Amino acid sequence: MPPPRALPLPHFTLPPLSGEDHLFVAALLSHLSASPPPAATSLSRFLPGLTPLRLSHLVLLLAGRAPLPPHRLLAALLPSPPPPLPLAILLHSLPPRRCAELLASVLPSVSARAFPDLLHHLFITARLVTQRAAGIPALDVLFSACARDKKLSRATLSYRAMRAHGLLPTVESCNVFISAALRLRRPEIAVSFFREMRRCRVSPNVYTANMVMRAYCALGRVADAVLVLDEMPSWGFSRTAASFNTLIAAYCHDSGMEHALRLKERMEHEGIEPNEVTYNTIVHQLCKEGRMQQASWVVSEMKVKGVTPNTITFNTLIHGYVTLRDNEAAWRVHQEMIKARVMVDMVTYNSLILGLCNEGKTRKAGRLVQELCTAKLEPNASTFSALIVGQCKKQNSERALDLLNAMKKTGFHPNYQTYKIVVSTCSKNKDFDGASDILKDMLRRCMAPDKALLHEFFEGLSEAKKLHLAEDLRSVANSARFISDVYYTGDYRNEDEEKTAY
């Protein structure tokens, strides 16, 4: 079935000026043509009498002159929200770059209801400025401006209108749309638009292909991403390191480490040298799987190939060793990092502090906090969480509570694991008042305590005969939503016995 015929660009005639309108426009044009250009504030006496018709004729007259007035003057001429007719004529009159600058400043004031009217006027005025179908630049800029502003519905409306008139956006504008869809975490929209590009025979470039591969990987369709990688040479451009890195990251995310390593070998075979992103992605996954020896081999290979390990590389290794409770190896990597003069950041310090706190070495961790403050770095949520873990390892619930309160006063929000370890430590130390206060805070933040934590807390309350704290907890908002009544009545024990017997 043949595609539908494109709609011709309509003809439009602007009503002529006469009498006072003509005199007003002539006076304002003379004012704008002064050298040097007047200040934007000097237009205040003209603005009250600047009707849409006068402004439209003024813009047409300015379009026939070179150079155009500065951007600040053009923006000052437009009221908020701008009338669609003069704005459309102005957009057609400007070169693409200035058109994009103007749209970036006026589009936020154009409502969703007014946008179709602006789009309509862009089409009816396309022939008015140059007497030929030269409306493509302004329409293309509008499409990309909407996408850049993450207004995908407006960008889609612009694209459909262009398509209906036989016009197509440039591949650069299409890339802006796909990038916006990915930033909004809508990979399915990115893939759908890429298919539309192919149907309309808009030739993609390497950036398009790389982003589409990212979209397929985000959807879990790695096989389709591989097909895009294989077809890139047939589309007229070569694969890049970023192309392979996208797929390597996808394989690592899906625990396909062997596929990732084979893809790296293919990358080298095609003459594309792996970069720091390639190596860091592989090292991160190996550390995540606890394969620290292989991760160290990859870093050694990285150095041999002339790729310098960066802060991310060393931080990944340090965090991997800390996770495996091998603090000695973590500190060796830290010393190597300093020797290589690689910048140490908060992630480095937080990993080392967590390693010390996991062993209960809170004094050493405190000295490390002082060191990071000397380095003009500020403790963050991860720092506080690590220090709280250290105090809980030493069963020092009072100090852990102080740190938790300091963390909240500083503006950081504890996560569930931080709350849980403090509640558990308070319960073990028979500090049920402190544990109850933390549980209340969790409920206010809509955090649901798990069964193990609730069992520990309510068992301790029962043994300490402090059931009045349970009633206080019951009165807190969200309590009924996140804590079952069986915990307040003690029936949860019967449920456990029944399950065990079953």
- What is the per-residue pLDDT for 133? 45
Q: Is 41 exposed, middle or buried (0-12, 13-18, 19+ CB in 10 A)?
A: exposed
Q: How far apart are CA 308 and CA 302, in angstroms?
A: 7
Q: How far apart are CA 395 and CA 427, in angstroms?
A: 10
How confident is the model over 103-146, as pLDDT tens digits?
Answer: 988 899 999 999 999 999 888 888 766 554 444 788 999 999 99
- What is the per-residue pLDDT for 221? 94
How confident is the model over 279-335, as pLDDT tens digits?
Answer: 999 999 999 999 999 999 999 999 999 999 999 999 999 999 999 999 999 999 999
Q: Is the pLDDT of residue 502 over 50?
A: no
- What is the per-residue pLDDT for 273? 93
**Structure-token pair, residue 363:** 């004094």
Using 50, 70 and 90 to split pLDDT, how confident is the model at 14?
A: confident
Mean pLDDT of 46-69: 80
Percent over 70 (pLDDT), the chain: 92
Using 50, 70 and 90 to split pLDDT, how confident is the model at 393?
A: very high
Using 50, 70 and 90 to split pLDDT, how confident is the model at 7?
A: low
Q: Measure the N-to-C terminal CA separation of the chain; round to a whole number of Å.
A: 66
Number of other CB atoms surrounding residue 90 within 10 Å: 28
Longest dimension (CA), the chain: 99
Cα atoms in the Cβ-side hemisphere of radius 13 Å centred on 166: 10
Of the candidates 241, 303, 226, the one whose C-alpha atom is nearest the C-alpha of residue 272 is 241
Q: Is the pLDDT of residue 486 over 60?
A: yes
Q: How far apart are CA 308 and CA 276, in angstroms?
A: 7
